[in-house]
Amino acid sequence: MFAMRITTLVVCTLCWITSYGLPAGAWAAEDILIADFEGDTYAPWKVEGEAFGSGPAQGTLPGQMDVRGFEGKRLVNSFLQGDRTTGKLTSPTFTIQRPWINFLIGGGQHQDQLVIKLLINGESVHTSSGPNNTAGGSEALDWDSWDVAKYVGQKGTIEILDQATGGWGHINVDQIVQSDQRRSVEPAARTLEITQRYLHLPVKNGAPKRRMKFTVAGQVVRDFEIEYAEAAADYVTLADVSAFQGKTLTVHVDKLPGGPAALMPITPSNEKPAAAEIYHEKLRPQFHFTSQRGWLNDPNGLVYANGKYHLFYQHNPYGWGWGNMHWGHAVSADLFHWEEMPESVYPAKFGDWAFSGSAVVDPANTTGFGEKRDGIETIIAAFTSTGRGECILTSRDNGLTWTELPENPVVKHQGRDPKLLWHAPTKKWVMALYDEFEGKQWITFHTSIDMRKWEFASRIEGYFECPDLFETKIQGTAEKRWVLYGADGKYATGQFDGKTFIPDGPKQQLWYGNFYAAQTYSNDPQGRIIQIGWGRDINFPGMPFNQQMVVPVELTLHKREGRIVMHAQPARELDGLRGNSRQTVSLSVSGGGSSSVSLVNSVPSRWKLDLQLNDARIVKLNMKGVPVVVDREKGLLTCHQMSAPIDVHEGKLSMEVLLDRGSMELFVNQGQSAFSIGGDVTSSPSTIEITADQDQVELSAEGHLLESIWKK
């Protein structure tokens, strides 16, 4: 028995060696290092140009995404001063002594301008480039290999070249070795019979991005990038394959260590991964919308239809970072208790992503495809197909499935982000678009009677991305104004005749901080202007989800000091989350002094604060570690180094503060200014502290705990 075990071990070991290309009976020799780039300089390599600097980079360079996958502490990284610099590295001559040269490579993809190359007698015999040639991507390095068996015994040199200056115009290289074994990754595939709803896909944040495709009967039905976990996963996401029930589906990966065996962790299931943990994660916001899995950004298609508020949004269902843009989907009866629906709009193909857009209903059926069927309103959406242009979709089942207009794309231009609205006086549909005509930033307006054929109407300069356009009443008057909004939170009031927007004056700003790409709801049953923005860069490290939406707010117009200004206050439905726990606070501080009080059960919560400043010029408030400074001489309120103008009447200032895991929102003087601030407020000191430079300052506050929107 003992002898048989030894024989089995030897046979298996020789099989393993043979599978890696070594002759039976031969053992792999130790790798020969060509360069590991761990020194302060590149010596004895020759350096030309600026891109590589005077020595290897210590990881990520300023302005660069996180560089991962290199070995040791340094690497070749030509992102020095960004993508505009160029240069070349040349190795000393070396003798080729092994059949393979292996190396780690990352950065941009350009087979002529961004390469590592092997030269024999001055002629290039092998070249490799990085993986990235489109926006997004990853700075992770991955193994590549050259078969140099026929050059063994000859002299060679290696060049690393960066002659590119546009996006992804840099190259990353590390750990160049000669070896008896190949290290490059190879294509892999696995075939499954689809009998369950989901495929569970393991994800490792920061791993090299793999191109994964699903094919059915030879046709590509899903195509995306994923930081696939080749070992331990950070979390597991899912792909909904219910549309392929009863069919044979093949999972393909463009390159993967370990071959098909590495795809075995992909698991069919009728349950979502870690279903019991969803919405119970440590950092999950308790009253802000977050997706169950993956990255989200811009809110899209905000429409009230068939008794529900629909929230579509930019979504990467396969990763924690931006990419693979789909439309995610959630519905709510009250703007807070959200039910996440299946993925709604899929990209037409890889690279032709479903970018931002809007949605409406057409109760008068002016389009000819907006009628109700079986009592269900048709939802009409517009989105940017990045490979085609602006496209129109219709859904007769509340966004579960969509039908494209045969006329798509209905508008082609240099831009994106269509906003649809009905202009009643002219009886036409309007599409507001971000446009880069002549290299500038514009909002353009197009009109149509049926959404199939659109005509250019006008453009206005100075707005960037995700336009919003709506008309609303000025509070306390019979007047109305149109509001034109850009992604950065800057807006203008003015007149709009269905073709041209004429502003009342310069743009103004309402929102500050982690806030971007907001949109307002069409068809609100109460006629309100309800806005939801993206809390940009509010990150949730270590979680299976990333980014959040800002709290829904009601927008109103007001006259103030000869101007028409917009206010934002939390949607009234937030009142429905108020819990039983309540705390009141009273603080008084004299000039030059400070005072503080502890908060009880402060997250998630809603606070209303009233400050009596008297003659104090500078008052500092610190709530849960977030500093707020009121400077009356400058007329500014500053929060996290962002300043907004304020009005202090009779020495009084009011604020409303919303505290959740991951963020604080601040509304000043009934929403004259609004701040969205990202940060882990759960770990910050549970106190309110106030200081003043002079005179007596008094603070009174009342806070209420809020119920979780995920509580069942």
Burial (0-12, 13-18, 19+ Cβ within 10 Å), 535? buried
394 and 526 assigned to the same domain: yes
216 and 359 assigned to the same domain: no
130 and 166 assigned to the same domain: yes
Do 258 and 229 form a contact (C-beta atoms < 8 A)?
A: no
The answer to whether residue 712 sits within a structural domain is no
Statement: residue 19 has pLDDT above 70: no
Domain region containing 169: 32-138+161-179
Q: Which residues contact 454 (CB under 8 A, 6 or more apart)?
A: 410, 411, 431, 446, 447, 448
pLDDT per position as a tens digit, 646-700 = 989 889 999 999 999 999 999 999 999 999 999 988 888 889 999 999 889 999 9
Output the domain CATH number for residue 312: 2.115.10.20
688 and 597 assigned to the same domain: yes
Give the residue from 570, 602, 630 where a domain finishes.
Answer: 570
Query: Across the chain, what does the average pLDDT equal?
Result: 94
Confidence of residue 26 (pLDDT cuts 50, 70, 90): very low
The answer to whether residue 518 sits within a structural domain is yes
pLDDT per position as a tens digit, 176-226 = 999 999 988 889 999 999 999 999 999 999 888 999 999 999 999 999 999
Give the residue from 537, 570, 603 where a domain finishes.
Answer: 570
Give the residue from 570, 605, 636 where a domain finishes.
Answer: 570
Q: If you average pLDDT over residues 378-389, what whole number do you get?
A: 98
617 and 673 assigned to the same domain: yes
469 and 321 assigned to the same domain: yes
- Burial string for 38-76 (b: 16+ CB within 10 Å, else e) reads eeeebeebebebebbbeebbeeebeebeebbbbeeebbb
pLDDT per position as a tens digit, 344-372 = 999 999 999 999 999 999 999 999 999 99
555 and 656 assigned to the same domain: no
**Cα–Cα nearest to 466, from 446, 447, 445, 443:** 443
The answer to whether residue 16 sits within a structural domain is no
- Tell me which DSSP letter residue 589 carries: E
Per-residue confidence (pLDDT) for residue 186, from 0 to 100: 86
- Enumerate the active-site residues: 298
74 and 168 assigned to the same domain: yes
Among the residues of 315-376, which ranges form H helices? none
Per-residue confidence (pLDDT) for residue 24, from 0 to 100: 38
Domains: count for the chain: 4
198 and 256 assigned to the same domain: yes
The answer to whether residue 145 sits within a structural domain is no
The answer to whether residue 134 sits within a structural domain is yes
73 and 124 assigned to the same domain: yes
Q: What is the 3-state secondary structure (H, E, C) of 168-189?
A: CCCEEEEEEEEECCCCCCEEEE
Q: Which residues contact 290 (CB under 8 A, 6 or more apart)?
A: 284, 296, 540, 545, 547, 548, 549
Output the domain CATH number for residue 618: 2.60.120.560
The answer to whether residue 325 sits within a structural domain is yes
The answer to whether residue 144 sits within a structural domain is no
Reported as type and span, the H/E element at residue 702 is strand 697-706
Query: Does the global pTM surpass 0.85?
Result: yes
Whole-angstrom distance, CA of residue 24 vs CA of residue 14: 6
551 and 590 assigned to the same domain: no
The answer to whether residue 657 sits within a structural domain is yes
- Per cent of the chain over pLDDT 90 is 89
Per-residue confidence (pLDDT) for residue 253, from 0 to 100: 97
243 and 297 assigned to the same domain: no
